[in-house]
């Protein structure tokens, strides 16, 4: 493993992982309605692509709303602007479910100059948005080459497969933490942190934790967990020593603190759960051509390299430098086909009763 101090992944269950990812890929690729069959062509003629790029240059800028880590966003903007496409990218970071709320508010506000392109973790919303015609089909050379299996509804490009990780402060925790069960140690009572239900993926993480470790959540709640409004806030609190360990983080966020020599260790659990981000061009984009060009860039090897950084996430595009090699970890991704609003709401109520928080 290339990352800071990640434990070696056990060899077991690799096949199961590939089955799961392949299954997810297959389900993601299934067209949602016959109408998509015609709309899903991402391959356009060179002349048409040149026309789009010229129109994009005239638009001059693209506005992106994203919910990835700050460092990932900085890399994407830097790489895009360095590509010299004649378009300036403005990337606004919005944490959690607020991204969906802002995008939906803008949809019904014709005067607002808002997002053209979104990088969201809310794939259930993105899937619904495809059905409602809110999303434009990505086009361009990279979009055409993008694996069909990772196109949700044929229009949302799934990328940056990211495992959820734990972390702990090495000054405060001398006996290494290697599994979720380790967070139940008595000495960690009142000194372990989590992230409150700021986004649906967070809810789904706790739901998975609950289902894959029966009885764990009750014991974890009894540890008087401190809840934070974001992954970055939780990670910074671990780095500062305000809490000794955190149950919920992602590698890009932790890496930013490792780079500053924070006394912190990141742990990918033996059985890890994770998610992918979805990149989608909005049908009401004020800069539609620039959004398509930006989307194509992000789907390219160059763009994916910026997204994945140094082993922070995996990419469905082959041969992306720095991509996390998921074959070396036992990663299960969220199966969005099984996620319903009702199941999320039901679990939220259970979580609220356990943690006394939102």
Partner 1 sequence: MSGAAQPRAWWGSGGLVRRKAVPQFAWILLALVAGFMVLWPVVQLQLRAFVDGGSAFARMMDLPRIGSTMRTTLVLAVLSSALAVFIGTLLAWCASMLPRPVRRIGELAPLLPLVVPAVAAVTGWIFLLSPNVGYLNMMLRKLPWLESLQEGPFNIYSVTWIIIITGMLLSSFVYVFVFTGLKNMGQELEAAAAACGASPAMRFFTITLPLLRPSIIFATGVVFLLGLGQFTAPLLLGRTAKIDVLTTEMFYLTERFPVDFGLGAALGFPILALGLAVVLLQKSALGEQKRFVVVSARSKYDIRETRWWAAAVIGLYLLITTVLPLMALIYVSLSPFWSGSLVVPELTLRHWKSVLNNVALVSAIWTSVKVSVVGIAILIPFGFFMAYALLQSTRIYKPVRTAIDLFATLPIAVPASLMGFGLLFVYSQPPIQIYGTTAVLVVTYVTLMIGHSTRLQFTTLVATGQEFLEASKASGAGPLRSLLQVMLPMCRKGIAATAALTFVLLFHEFSASLMVRSARTQVIGSVMYDVWAGGIYSEVAVLALIMVVVTVLGVCIAGWLGGTDSAQQKG
CA distance 267 to 265: 7
327: CB partners within 8 A, 6+ apart: 14, 17, 18
Q: Which is nearer to partner 1, 90 or 148 (CB)?
A: 90
Asked if residue 356 binds partner 1 (CB under 8 A), the reply is yes
Candidate list 57, 185, 226, 328; residue touching partner 1; CB under 8 A: 226
CA distance 117 to 286: 10
Asked if residue 228 binds partner 1 (CB under 8 A), the reply is yes
The phi, psi pair for 192, rounded to 5°, reads -120, 145
209: CB partners within 8 A, 6+ apart: 180, 216, 217, 220, 247, 273
Asked if residue 111 binds partner 1 (CB under 8 A), the reply is yes
Closest approach, Cβ 307 to partner 1, in A, equals 18
Closest approach, Cβ 356 to partner 1, in A, equals 5
Asked if residue 167 binds partner 1 (CB under 8 A), the reply is no
Stretch that binds partner 1, among 34-42, 175-183, 206-214, 259-267 (CB under 8 A): 259-267
Closest approach, Cβ 202 to partner 1, in A, equals 13
Q: Which is nearer to partner 1, 207 or 286 (CB)?
A: 286
CA distance 129 to 123: 9
Q: Which is nearer to partner 1, 110 or 215 (CB)?
A: 110
Q: Which is nearer to partner 1, 74 or 337 (CB)?
A: 74
Helix-strand-coil percent breakdown of the chain, rounded to 5?
A: 45, 20, 35
Q: Which is nearer to partner 1, 238 or 310 (CB)?
A: 238
Closest approach, Cβ 284 to partner 1, in A, equals 13
Residue 167, H or E segment: strand 156-169
Stretch that binds partner 1, among 47-55, 151-159, 240-248, 286-294 (CB under 8 A): 240-248
Q: Cα angle at 185 between 182 and 191, to 5 degrees?
A: 100
147: CB partners within 8 A, 6+ apart: 25, 316, 317
Report residue 100 as tokens: 């969906």
Q: Is 250 in a helix, a strand, or coil?
A: strand
Residues 182-211 close enough to bind partner 1 by CB under 8 A: 191, 196, 198
Q: Which is nearer to partner 1, 47 or 349 (CB)?
A: 349
**Smallest Cα–Cα separation from 264: which of 233, 241, 248?**
241
Asked if residue 279 binds partner 1 (CB under 8 A), the reply is no
Residues 46-105 close enough to bind partner 1 by CB under 8 A: 63, 65, 70, 90, 92-98, 100-102, 104-105
255: CB partners within 8 A, 6+ apart: 3, 4, 71, 266, 309, 310, 312
CA distance 223 to 243: 12
Asked if residue 123 binds partner 1 (CB under 8 A), the reply is no
Strand 264-267 and strand 156-169: pairing? antiparallel
Residues 321-350 close enough to bind partner 1 by CB under 8 A: 349
Closest approach, Cβ 191 to partner 1, in A, equals 7
Report residue 200 as tokens: 């649906």
Closest approach, Cβ 143 to partner 1, in A, equals 25
Closest approach, Cβ 68 to partner 1, in A, equals 11
Residue ranges that bind partner 1, judged by CB under 8 A? 63, 65, 70, 90, 92-98, 100-102, 104-106, 108-115, 191, 196, 198, 226-237, 239-243, 257, 260-262, 349, 352-353, 355-358
């Amino acid at each position: 493993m290339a990352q800071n101090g990640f434990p070696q992944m056990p060899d077991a269950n690799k096949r199961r992982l590939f089955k799961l990812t392949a299954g997810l890929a297959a389900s993601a690729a299934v067209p949602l309605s016959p109408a998509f069959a015609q709309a899903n062509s991402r391959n356009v003629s060179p002349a048409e692509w040149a026309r789009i790029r010229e129109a994009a240059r005239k638009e001059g800028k693209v506005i992106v709303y994203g919910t990835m880590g700050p460092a990932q966003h900085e890399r994407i903007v830097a790489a895009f602007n360095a590509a010299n496409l004649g378009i300036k990218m403005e990337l606004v970071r919005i944490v959690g479910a607020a991204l969906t709320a802002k995008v939906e508010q803008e949809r019904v506000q014709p005067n607002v100059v808002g997002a053209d392109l979104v990088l969201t973790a809310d794939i259930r919303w993105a899937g619904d948005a495809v059905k409602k015609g809110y999303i434009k089909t990505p086009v361009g050379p990279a979009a055409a080459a993008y694996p069909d299996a990772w196109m949700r509804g044929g229009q949302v490009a799934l990328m940056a497969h990211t495992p959820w990780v734990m972390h702990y402060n090495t000054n405060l925790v001398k006996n290494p933490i290697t599994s979720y069960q380790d967070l139940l140690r008595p000495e960690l009572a009142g000194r372990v942190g989590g992230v409150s239900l700021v986004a649906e993926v967070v809810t789904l993480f706790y739901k998975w934790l609950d289902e894959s470790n029966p009885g764990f959540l009750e014991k974890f709640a009894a540890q008087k967990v401190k809840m934070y409004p974001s992954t970055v806030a939780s990670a910074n609190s671990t780095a500062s020593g305000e809490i000794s360990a955190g149950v919920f983080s992602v590698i890009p966020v932790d890496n930013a603190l490792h780079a500053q020599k924070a006394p912190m260790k990141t742990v990918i659990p033996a059985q890890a759960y994770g998610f992918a981000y979805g990149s989608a061009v909005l049908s009401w984009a004020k800069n539609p051509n620039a959004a398509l060009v930006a989307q194509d860039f992000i789907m390219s090897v160059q763009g994916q390299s910026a997204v994945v950084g140094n082993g922070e996430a995996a990419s469905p595009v082959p041969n992306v430098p720095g991509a996390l090699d998921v074959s070396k970890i036992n990663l299960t991704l969220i199966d969005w086909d099984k996620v319903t609003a009702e199941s999320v709401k039901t679990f939220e109520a259970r979580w609220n009763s356990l943690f006394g928080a939102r």
